[in-house]
Chains A and B, each alone.
Chain A
Amino acid sequence: MSAATPPTAPAAPPASGPGLWRRLRRNRLAVAGLVVLVIVVTTALLAPVMPLADPAAQVRSDRLLPIGSEGHLLGTDHLGRDLLSRLIWGARTSLSVGVLATLIAALIGSLIGLVAGFAGRRVDSVLMRGIDVLMAFPYLLLAIGLVAVLGPGLINAMIAISVVNIPFFARAVRGTTISLVSAEYVDAARALAFSPTRILFREVLPNVLPVIIVTMSTTVGWMITETAGLSFLGLGAQPPTSDWGAMLGAGRDFITRAPHVMIVPGTAIFVVVISLNFLGDGLRDALDPRLK
């Protein structure tokens, strides 16, 4: 045992590096999505150094100015706040909450899936029945229920969104794990008397990683929409934090008089989510060994 060199995974090594990029590049939509996302993320990151108005500063007599007004490129909202500034600052909240929620759900969900798939039998049953209970609730309803318990706020909304997404990771990962448990290299590792933990994390996990990445890339868009949904309902970001969902919710009351207040954040959510989905699809195709 002590002399054994750790066996490297012989089957289906995770796709990465130049190969991945080459395959992804062939998918024009995915590339377009990536470009848009890079632009959005860069803009959001640069918000503090950009010459933007304070997103919380109100000039209440200048309310509901239309797009293209002087000094307010995208106009102002119902309290006379600059919409462009709120949109860019809002990107920071909306995107970071969406991504963080995805990471949390991926971490917990994958762990559950890995353990359930690897341990099998009773552990599997207990863990997956728990997951089934989570899945039995309507998606957004469960999130709203969690926020009702935790109290409104961005962090709580993020926790709620993470929790309702755990089942998706757990199930996808468990399925793949089960198919890998009987793989030859896992048998080999067992024969070498590696500890189960080591087999799980050194042998199984690297091969499940593509599944996790694909699930993440396809759900992060949903996560952003859901966070926006909670904020829209007033359960997410608390004023004056700008957040796309909250902006959308506030604009709803002015849809006939000043539709841009709703259109601006609505378009932003649409563009980002669709870019994420294109990119997610591209990644899935690129990472799927059968499509090589």
Chain B
Amino acid sequence: MTTQMQRWTSGPGRRLRTVMASLLAVSLVLAACGGDAADPETPDDPDAADDPGAAGDADLGDPLVVGQVAEPASLDPHQVTAVNDFRININLYDGLVRYEDDSLGVEPALATDWEISDDGLLYTFALRDDVSFHDGSPFDAEAVKFNFDRMLDEDHPDHDTGPFPLANQFFGQVAEVRAVEDHVVEFELSQPFAPFLSNLAYPTGLLISPAAVEEHGEDVGRNPSGTGPYVFVEWLGNERVTLERNPDYWDGPPGVSGVVFRPITESQTRVTELLSGGVDLIVEVPPDDVAPLRDDSDLTVQEQAGPHVWFLILNLAEAPFDDVRMRQALNYAIDKQSLVDDVLQGTASVAAGPIAEAFGWAYNPDLEPYPYDPERARELIEEAGYGDGVDVTFFVTEGGSGMLDPVPMGEAIQADLREVGIDAAIETYEWNSFLDEVNAGIEGKADMAQMAWMTADPDTLPYLTLRSNAWPEDGGFNSGYYANPEVDALLEAAQVETDQDERARRYHEMQEIVVEDAPWVFVASWKQNAAMSADIQGFEVHPSFLLRLHDVSRS
């Protein structure tokens, strides 16, 4: 299961197709990387020995070996869309700001300080003046400007080193970037955009060396140079990506000599490699292996609820789910507790509404999940006039982006629905065909479809999937054709509002309306997990689903 990034440009159809094409390409690369890389030899590291700053390396032992879910597509932070790639990039690069240690709040990184004008249109960042890129070129305001111009300005000489599929979704509101002084940079926005700072912390906002882009052109994704805690050494296709410790890192050098990322696509193989000591750390442990690994005293398992929602899109354009009673009945009929406890073995929690609990301020704590109540479901179905039973078509995917064992989940949901007289015929699709079918809108094809999103802010998911202007024909992802003017107004307002309490109030209200309207069946929020040998210290899974290894060491 690849945790494919699921934020998309909300622009016109052409841009959408570009995104789809690039996502498809990413997935093809992921799919093409079968097999398990051979055991990596410990990279003996002549550079580190020569390096005066790395005097203590001998004590740091072997590099950390990470079992990744797939081969990376690229290491150019502006090109990639998959969490799998972000997990490497976040260790190679820094952004102006970064997420706090255990939340999605932002704190200074390469920017030490910033000011936002009262109208929310001008952001001024003061930059660190003691940082260079790994290739030796200095980090300054011009470098920041270069990064954003390359992504956003079609006339920029290096704009053709893309594509940059997420640039418009994350930074489309940036009208101009100005290098005011050597280490002061200004962003002018065309309209207030509340998630802007948070987006700068997202991996699409990581900063790459302009000199490296100029030297390598579009191959820079294979020859990355950032400012991060680890320096790129080599990338052997389908075998490993090797990074070594950056002894001059501005935030203190890391505690291990380096990191080796190995692509191991089969989840069972990842588990076996961890047990046999071939890797030190794995992510996305399959649900049934979490408990046995937790019981193993040589290993530690970490879990954390992430900003993830797993839901069923319902087709509001056609019977039977054009009737709100039927949609609510579905929410009552599905035993979500049993899905997360039994099918997912406690690796997820029940979701109450469209915004994940992990978003904190934006989540409405008063929201109660629909209880499992088949009796109530049958009453509602009876009232809606489907008491004699109804046949529906149910799109299920075979895997993909945080879809959490989609086939067993689909079968379990099918069995629950049968109990209340809804006969759901499952049609399974491979992940990319599934996305093609569902994202184009499910009218005429299906009555319900599985979906899951992981986002770093609470804005993107509802904005792209619940607004009436986000129907598939408008380039959005509202594939079930939900439309409620009140929700539209709240979402538009929350996006441009900059006061967080006001934003929260709008999102809370939006969630109440959406839960009542039930355009989806709200099912689960995934607890992301990672398992590692017990001697690994200083690693914490992060709510962003990233893999930050700066503070890792061996005991």
Main DSSP-derived SS at the B contact region = helix
Nearest CB in chain B: distance from A183 CB, A? 51
Interchain CB contact under 8 A, B272 and A256:
yes
CA of A56 to CA of B425, assembled, Å: 13
The interface residues of chain B lying within 8 Å CB-to-CB of A257 are 288-289, 292
Task: Answer yes or no: A255 CB below 8 A from chain B CBs.
Answer: yes
Interchain CB contact under 8 A, B411 and A151:
no
Chain A 211-252 per-residue mask, 1 if CB under 8 angstroms from chain B, else 0: 000000000000000000000001000111000000000101
Which residue on chain B has the smallest CB distance to residue A58? B415
Task: Answer yes or no: A120 CB below 8 A from chain B CBs.
Answer: no
The interface residues of chain A lying within 8 Å CB-to-CB of B405 are 253
Most buried by A among B267, B271, B292, B428: B428
- Number of residue pairs spanning A and B whose beta carbons lie under 8 angstroms apart: 68
Nearest CB in chain B: distance from A54 CB, A? 10
Task: Answer yes or no: B427 CB below 8 A from chain A CBs.
Answer: yes
CA of A286 to CA of B338, assembled, Å: 57
CA of A257 to CA of B287, assembled, Å: 11
The interface residues of chain B lying within 8 Å CB-to-CB of A78 are 288, 343, 408
Task: Answer yes or no: A188 CB below 8 A from chain B CBs.
Answer: no
Interchain CB contact under 8 A, A253 and B268:
yes
Nearest CB in chain B: distance from A26 CB, A? 46
Chain B 201-220 per-residue mask, 1 if CB under 8 angstroms from chain A, else 0: 00000000000000000000
Interchain CB contact under 8 A, B268 and A250:
no
Task: Answer yes or no: B414 CB below 8 A from chain A CBs.
Answer: yes
Task: Answer yes or no: A254 CB below 8 A from chain B CBs.
Answer: yes
Which residue on chain A has the smallest CB distance to residue B409? A79
Task: Answer yes or no: B131 CB below 8 A from chain A CBs.
Answer: no
Task: Answer yes or no: B179 CB below 8 A from chain A CBs.
Answer: no
Task: Answer yes or no: A72 CB below 8 A from chain B CBs.
Answer: no
Residues A79 and B415 in contact in the complex (CB < 8 Å), given A61-B338, A256-B268: yes
Task: Answer yes or no: B410 CB below 8 A from chain A CBs.
Answer: yes
Chain B 421-433 per-residue mask, 1 if CB under 8 angstroms from chain A, else 0: 0000111111001
Residues A250 and B408 in contact in the complex (CB < 8 Å), given A152-B427, A238-B426: yes
Chain B 222-242 per-residue mask, 1 if CB under 8 angstroms from chain A, else 0: 000000000000000000000
Most buried by A among B268, B272, B410: B268
Task: Answer yes or no: B286 CB below 8 A from chain A CBs.
Answer: yes
Task: Answer yes or no: B121 CB below 8 A from chain A CBs.
Answer: no
Residues A80 and B342 in contact in the complex (CB < 8 Å), given A151-B427, A234-B428: yes
Interchain CB contact under 8 A, A253 and B286:
yes
The interface residues of chain B lying within 8 Å CB-to-CB of A80 are 342
The interface residues of chain A lying within 8 Å CB-to-CB of B342 are 60-61, 63, 79-80
Interchain CB contact under 8 A, B428 and A152:
yes
Task: Answer yes or no: B412 CB below 8 A from chain A CBs.
Answer: yes
CA of A79 to CA of B287, assembled, Å: 13
Give the interface size class of chain B.
Answer: 20 to 34
Interchain CB contact under 8 A, A234 and B268:
no
Task: Answer yes or no: B398 CB below 8 A from chain A CBs.
Answer: yes
Nearest CB in chain A: distance from B401 CB, A? 17
Nearest CB in chain B: distance from A153 CB, A? 8
Interchain CB contact under 8 A, A240 and B414:
yes
Chain B 382-413 per-residue mask, 1 if CB under 8 angstroms from chain A, else 0: 00000000000000101000000101101110
Q: Which of B398, B411, B427, B429 contacts A240 (CB 8 A)?
A: B411
Chain A 57-80 per-residue mask, 1 if CB under 8 angstroms from chain B, else 0: 110110110000000000000111
Interchain CB contact under 8 A, B292 and A79:
no
Interchain CB contact under 8 A, A238 and B408:
no
Interchain CB contact under 8 A, A56 and B407:
no
Chain B 267-293 per-residue mask, 1 if CB under 8 angstroms from chain A, else 0: 110011000000000000010110010
Interchain CB contact under 8 A, A234 and B407:
yes
The interface residues of chain A lying within 8 Å CB-to-CB of B429 are 152
Interchain CB contact under 8 A, B412 and A58:
yes
CA of A239 to CA of B406, assembled, Å: 12
CA of A255 to CA of B289, assembled, Å: 11
The interface residues of chain A lying within 8 Å CB-to-CB of B286 are 253
The interface residues of chain B lying within 8 Å CB-to-CB of A253 are 267-268, 286, 288, 405
Which residue on chain B has the smallest CB distance to residue A148? B433
Interchain CB contact under 8 A, B343 and A238:
no
Interchain CB contact under 8 A, A238 and B425:
yes
Most buried by A among B292, B411, B425: B411
Interchain CB contact under 8 A, A238 and B427:
yes
B window 326-350: CB within 8 A of A: 335, 338, 342-343
Interchain CB contact under 8 A, B412 and A60:
yes
Which residue on chain B has the smallest CB distance to residue A236? B428
Q: Which of A60, A61, A250 contacts B407 (CB 8 A)?
A: A250
Most buried by A among B271, B292, B398: B398
CA of A49 to CA of B86, assembled, Å: 56
Which residue on chain B has the smallest CB distance to residue A78? B408
CA of A252 to CA of B398, assembled, Å: 13
A window 136-163: CB within 8 A of B: 148, 151-153
The interface residues of chain B lying within 8 Å CB-to-CB of A153 are 427
Interchain CB contact under 8 A, A79 and B428:
no
CA of A31 to CA of B213, assembled, Å: 72
Chain B 506-534 per-residue mask, 1 if CB under 8 angstroms from chain A, else 0: 00000000000000000000000000000
Nearest CB in chain B: distance from A230 CB, A? 12
Interchain CB contact under 8 A, B338 and A79:
no
The interface residues of chain A lying within 8 Å CB-to-CB of B412 are 58, 60, 79
Nearest CB in chain B: distance from A170 CB, A? 31
The interface residues of chain A lying within 8 Å CB-to-CB of B396 are 239
The interface residues of chain A lying within 8 Å CB-to-CB of B267 are 253
CA of A239 to CA of B343, assembled, Å: 15
The 9 closest A-B pairs by CB, nearest first: A60-B342, A239-B411, A58-B415, A239-B426, A234-B398, A234-B428, A257-B288, A238-B426, A60-B338
Q: List 19 A-B contacts (CB under 8 A).
A: A56-B415, A58-B412, A61-B338, A78-B343, A78-B408, A79-B415, A151-B427, A152-B427, A234-B398, A238-B426, A239-B407, A239-B410, A239-B428, A240-B411, A240-B426, A253-B267, A253-B286, A253-B288, A257-B289
Starting from the known contacts A151-B427, A238-B425, 5 additional A-B residue pairs (CB-CB under 8 Å) come to A60-B335, A61-B342, A234-B398, A256-B272, A258-B288
